[in-house]
Amino acid sequence: MLQELYQPHPEIAQNAAIKSMEEYHALMAKANEDYEGFWGDYAREKIDWFKPFDTVLNESEAPFYKWFEGGELNVAYQCLGRHLATKKNKAAIIFEGDNGDQRVLTYRELYYEVNKTANMFRNQFDIKKGDRVVLYMPMIPEAAISMLACAKLGAIHSVVFGGFSAEALRDRIIDAEAKLVVTADGAFRKGQPYMLKPVVDEALSYGCECVKNVCVVERNGEEIHWEAGRDYAYLELIKNESVKCEPEIVESEHPLFLLYTSGSTGKPKGVQHSSAGYILWAQMTMEWVFDLKENDTYWCTADVGWITGHTYIVYGPLAAGATTVMFEGVPTYPDAGRCWKMVEEYQINQFYTAPTAIRLLHKMGEDEPDKYDLSSLRILGTVGEPIDPPAWKWYYEKIGDSKCAIVDTYWQTETGGHVITPLPGATPIKPACATLPLPGIIAKVLDAEGKPAAPGEQGLMCITKPWPSMIRNIWGDPQRFVKSYFGDCSVDGKAVYFTGDGAIVDENGYITITGRTDDVINVSGHRMGTAEVEAAIKKHPNVAAVAVVGKPHPIKGEGIFAYVVLKSEDTIAEEMSMVQEINEVIKKEIGAIALCDSMIFVPDLPKTRSGKIMRRILRALARGEEITQDTSTLEDPSIVERIKNCCKSAGI
Ligand code: PRX
pLDDT in tens, 20-76: 999 999 999 999 999 999 999 999 999 999 999 999 999 999 999 999 999 999 999
pLDDT for 37: 98
To the nearest 10 degrees (0 to 180), the angle between helices 166-176 and 197-205 is 60
CA dist 272 and 262 (Å) reads 14
Can you say whether the dihedral through the CA atoms of 570, 571, 577, 578 is positive or negative?
Answer: positive
CA atoms of 327 and 182, how far apart (whole Å): 19
Residue 1, classed as helix, strand or coil, is coil
| CA 261 – ligand 1 centroid, Å | 12
| Whether 167 contacts 145, CB under 8 Å | no
418 C-alpha to center of ligand 1: Å? 10
The alpha carbon of 413 and the centre of ligand 1 are apart by a number of angstroms equal to 8
Is the predicted pLDDT of residue 610 greater than 90, yes or no? no
Residue with CA at minimum distance from ligand 1 atom 26: 410
pLDDT confidence bin for 185, thresholds 50/70/90: very high
Closest approach atom of ligand 1 to CA 513: 23
Instruction: Give the number of the atom of ligand 1 that is nearest the alpha carbon of residue 421.
Output: 26
CA of 4 to the centre of ligand 1 (A): 23
Beta-sheet strand order (sheet of 257-261)? 231-233, 213-217, 180-184, 132-136, 156-159, 257-261, 269-273, 473-474
| Nearest residue (CA) to ligand 1, atom 4 | 384
DSSP state of 636: S
pLDDT tens readout for residues 204-254: 999 899 999 999 999 999 999 999 999 999 999 999 999 999 999 999 999
Residue % of the chain over a pLDDT of 70: 99
- Among 296-305, 317-326, 567-576, name the one with the lowest average pLDDT: 567-576
Residue 356 — pLDDT band, cuts 50, 70, 90? very high
Is residue 197 within 8 Å of 225, Cβ to Cβ?
yes
Q: Report the pLDDT value the prediction gives residue 321, as an integer from 0 to 100.
A: 98
**How far does residue 460's CA lie from ligand 1's centre (Å)?**
14
Q: If you measure from the C-alpha of residue 386 to the centroid of ligand 1, how many angstroms do you get, rounded to a whole number?
A: 8
**DSSP three-state, residue 479:** helix
How far is it, in rounded angstroms, from Cα 155 to Cα 78?
16
Question: In terms of C-beta distances under 8 Å and separation of at least 24 residues, what long-range contacts does 401-404 make, across chains too?
Answer: 401/374, 401/375, 401/377, 403/9, 404/9, 404/377, 404/378, 404/379, 404/380
pLDDT of amino acid 267 = 87
Count of residues in the chain? 652
Atom of ligand 1 nearest to the CA of 302: 13
Query: Could you tell me which residues come within 8 angstroms of residue 365 by beta carbon, excluding any fewer than 6 positions away?
Result: 335, 336, 337
Q: How confident is the model at residue 627 (pLDDT cuts 50, 70, 90)?
A: confident
pLDDT at residue number 541 = 92
Return phi, psi of residue 76, to 5°: -65, -35
Which atom of ligand 1 is least distant from the CA of 413? Answer: 9
Q: Could you tell me the distance, in angstroms and rounded to a whole number, from the CA of residue 265 to the centre of ligand 1?
A: 18
pLDDT at 573 over 90: no
| Cα 263 to ligand 1 centre (Å) | 13
Q: What is the pLDDT of residue 619?
A: 92
382 bridge partner residues: 353, 408
Atom 15, ligand 1: which residue's CA is nearest?
A: 412
Residue 502 Cα to ligand 1 midpoint, Å, equals 11
Task: Kindly report the protein residue whose alpha carbon is nearest to atom 13 of ligand 1.
Answer: 384
Ligand 1 pocket test, candidate residues 306, 410, 520, most atoms within 8 A of CB: 410
Taking the CA of residue 520 as reference, the ligand 1 atom at the shortest distance is 1
From the CA of 527, give the closest atom in ligand 1.
10
Residue to mutate (ligand 1; options 485, 513, 516; most atoms within 8 A of CB): 513
The residues lining ligand 1, judged by C-beta closer than 6 Å to any ligand atom, are: 261, 307-308, 383-386, 408-413, 434, 499-501, 513, 515-516, 522, 526-527
Enclosing H/E stretch for 204:
helix 197-205
Q: Is the pLDDT of residue 383 over 90?
A: yes
Q: Which atom of ligand 1 is nearest to the CA of 434?
A: 26
Residue 284 has a pLDDT of 98
Give the model's confidence band at 1: pLDDT under 50 very low, under 70 low, under 90 confident, else very high.
Answer: low
Q: 128 CA distance to ligand 1 centroid (A)? A: 33
Query: Residue 423 pLDDT more than 70?
Result: yes
CA of 382 to the centre of ligand 1 (A): 10
Residue 571 has pLDDT above 80, yes or no: no
Q: How far is the CA of 385 from the centre of ligand 1 (A)?
A: 5
Higher pLDDT, 77 or 647: 77
From CA 317, how far away is CA 147, in angstroms rounded? 14
b or e along 299-318 (b: 16 or more beta carbons within 10 Å of the residue's beta carbon)? bbbbbbbbbbbbbbbbbbbb
**DSSP-derived 3-state class of residue 501:** strand
Residue 638: DSSP 8-state: H
Residue 3 has pLDDT above 80, yes or no: no
Look up residue 633 and give its DSSP letter: T
- Residue 299 Cα to ligand 1 midpoint, Å, equals 19
388 CA from centroid of ligand 1 (Å): 14
Residue 446's CB is within 10 A of a number of other CB atoms, namely 23
Ligand 1, atom 25, lies closest to the CA of: 410
Q: Which residue among 463, 471, 527 has the greatest number of ligand 1 atoms within 8 angstroms of its CB, and so is best to mutate? A: 527
Strands 526-529 and 250-251: unpaired
Read off the pLDDT of residues 272-285 as tens digits, 9 standing for 90 and up: 999 999 999 999 99
List, for residues 395-411, the tens digit of each pLDDT value.
999 999 999 999 999 99
pLDDT of residue 572: 61
Output the residue whose Cα is nearest ligand 1's atom 8.
412
**Nearest Cα residue to atom 6 of ligand 1:** 412
Q: What average pLDDT is seen over the chain?
A: 95
Q: What is the average pLDDT across 591-619?
A: 92
The overall longest dimension of the chain from CA atoms, in Å, is: 73
Evaluate if residue 570 carries a pLDDT over 80: no
Using one digit for the tens of pLDDT, what is the confidence trace for 481-513? 999 999 999 999 999 999 999 999 999 999 999
Residue 194, classed as helix, strand or coil, is: strand
